[in-house]
Amino acid sequence: MLQLHNSYAGTQKMTTDDREITPNSPVLNANLVKIEELSRRLVAAFAKKKDIDASLQGPGEDLYMKAASAYMTQAMADPAKMMEQQVSFWGKSLSHYIQVQEMLAQGKPQAPADDTPEDKRFSDPAWAENPYFNFLKQQYLINSQAVSQLVDNMEGLEPADQKRLDYFSRQIVAMMSPANFLGTNPQALTKAVETEGQSLVDGLENLVRDLEENDGDLVVTLADKSAFQVGENLATTEGSVVFRNPLFELIQYAPTTEKVHKTPLVIFPPWINRFYIMDLKEKNSLVKWIVDQGFSLFVVSWVDPDASYADYGMDSYIEQGFLAAISEVKKITGVKKVNAVGYCIAGTTLGLTLSLMSKRGDTSINSATFFTALTDFSDPGEFGVFLDDGFVDGIEAEVEKHGYLDSFFMARTFSFLRSNDLIYTPAIHSYMLGEAPPAFDLLFWNGDGANLPARMSIEYLRGLCQENRFARGTIEVLDEVLSLSDVDVPLCAIACETDHIAAWTSSYSGIRQMGSDDKTFILSESGHIAGIVNPPSRNKYGHYTNPDMSVAADDWKEGASFHEGSWWPRWGAWLTKQSGTKVAARIPGDSTHPILGPAPGTYVTGHAKT
């Protein structure tokens, strides 16, 4: 391998701006001094890292023991099968090594034939053309395939443990990519040479900055924070805060049409993140699009809780959040019914609210829409690997200590569900290439998480996610036992095909079990965010529909019709039918609801309370 590496090094230009780069270059030496200084800051930043429960850092020893036991049992029961897997792996590795040596023996410093699949981690030409880096890439992919096959063929594990083993083995494989290490990343090495070490200095500065800003925890900055200001170039749709309580601010948006539909719409976004995912920029703002279609729109902006909210639970969000907002919207607009939207965890809670209202005989909600919402957690998808007792016990210990779950934990969990896109690739660009984060609104929002109250966190993880008590009809909230069958208003649900947080099949299962006779299910292409923030003007992701919801999820999709373009207009047509005749456009607020400030309000940027 030294021969391979030297053949690469000999092909590189050791000049930049017509200046020869030597080990005694003043610029290079100066940068090496900077690196040493930054290293001291790096150590100091790491020293501030807070202790985190071991169960929140990775799988417990139980998974390793179960996997090892299953492997040994399988090896003894069917040694031929296990040996076949090993021989196949050895054969591929050795065959590729021989191919490389034959090329070198022939005096050809080039990579052998490479039929590996396209992988954006290895898009730099050197991965395909240079024998050293191509060898590393192909060997890594051979190893990756071997690990994947071994895990896939593992027998004797419970389904939940099998999923955990698959997930965490993929995380280890992704982490060990040669692209993630400076010494084996051709793009990073080339840039370091060309810039005389400046890219490494810049990268180390980025790394130290991220560590210092997060008290020793490594959180990769995904977007240029200076490029965006909420209320200035994000969340700019005109509106006003018309109500505020300790849990939320209610925003009423200014009409853009002379007349609006009589029945208003209120959107409940997830309180894990900020509401402005639906109002990033005008061109991709769902909020602006809804207003332009002639709907009276209200949006809830949740407070970012601190320790004083420790005892706020799911019942608090229902009573002081959902029911309070619905009541205020009815007062402001003078109507008896509203249409409601719940996104992600707010969709789950909307389902609970609808069940409670049905039990109480409250008919204030005319129709409900669910965005990427789970109400049946029997198969929560990839997120389920974090729902074992060890992880939830760790969360419980964390919130008991602090009174809330810091946004760091949920952000890190969701990021690892897409580790290559949200951790390793951004880290390579920032820390090894020394690049500034991009000015990308969606990534800026992704890094703007919110805390969760202590009691609510555990109730959600234990009662809903782990025990699936809503789908089982055993969850008790506000003195009522609630179930999916209680939900009887007209429903429209939008799920996303590659959603890594709320699996579409599980979303479909929950909607199927609801008691309504009027159900519409739309499956959008793409994932949890891009599938929802999909304006018609982009004409990017299509969607599937099928009126027959009597069948299982896979059969539903097989029989579904595919439609090009965004689902927004289809949902808009459905919502129009639920929204009554047109009335004169409503100006935000009324005599009993004075304007408290302009949208997007104060809760979206801080911890303000009444």
Looking at the annotation, which residues are catalytic?
Answer: 344
Q: What are phi and psi of 480, to 5 degrees?
A: -130, 140
Give the neighbor-by-neighbor strand order of the sheet with 239-244: 561-563, 543-545, 519-524, 491-496, 365-371, 338-343, 265-268, 297-302, 248-253, 239-244, 597-598
Give me 505's structure tokens.
Answer: 């099949």
Contact of 223 with 438, CB cutoff 8 Å: yes
Residues in contact with 536: Cβ distance below 8 Å, sequence separation at least 6, in sequence order = 289, 565, 566, 568, 569
**DSSP string spanning 546-591?**
-S--SS-HHHHHHTPEEESS-SHHHHHHHHHHTS-SEEEPPPS-BT
260 beta partners: 583
User: What is the DSSP pairing of strand 265-268 with strand 297-302?
Assistant: parallel
CA distances from residue 490 to 251, 259, 440, 579 in whole angstroms, order as listed: 25, 24, 37, 12
21 beta partners: none
Residue 226: how many other CB atoms lie within 10 Å: 9
Residue at token pair 């965006």: 228
Q: How many whole angstroms separate alpha carbon 520 and alpha carbon 530? A: 21
Q: How many whole angstroms separate alpha carbon 64 and alpha carbon 446? A: 32
Residue 610 burial by CB count (10 A; 0-12/13-18/19+): exposed, middle or buried? exposed
User: What is the DSSP pairing of strand 338-343 with strand 365-371?
Assistant: parallel
Q: Which of 59, 62, 82, 86 is nearest to 72 (CA)?
A: 82
Q: Which helix (H) or strand (E) holds 276?
A: none
Q: How many whole angstroms separate alpha carbon 111 and alpha carbon 339? A: 61
Q: Which of 590, 217, 276 is nearest to 444 (CA)?
A: 276
> Would you tell me the crossing angle of helices 159-175 and 131-152 to the nearest 10 degrees?
170
Q: Is 340 helix (H, G, I), strand (E, B) or coil?
A: strand
SS3 readout for 53-114: CHHHCCCCHHHHHHHHHHHHHHHHHCHHHHHHHHHHHHHHHHHHHHHHHHHHHCCCCCCCCC
Question: Is the CA virtual torsion 504, 517, 377, 444 positive or negative?
Answer: positive
CA distances from residue 302 to 242, 294, 310, 368, 477 in whole angstroms, order as listed: 14, 25, 15, 20, 21
Residue 590 burial by CB count (10 A; 0-12/13-18/19+): exposed, middle or buried? middle
CA distances from residue 372 to 58, 348, 383, 524 in whole angstroms, order as listed: 27, 9, 13, 10
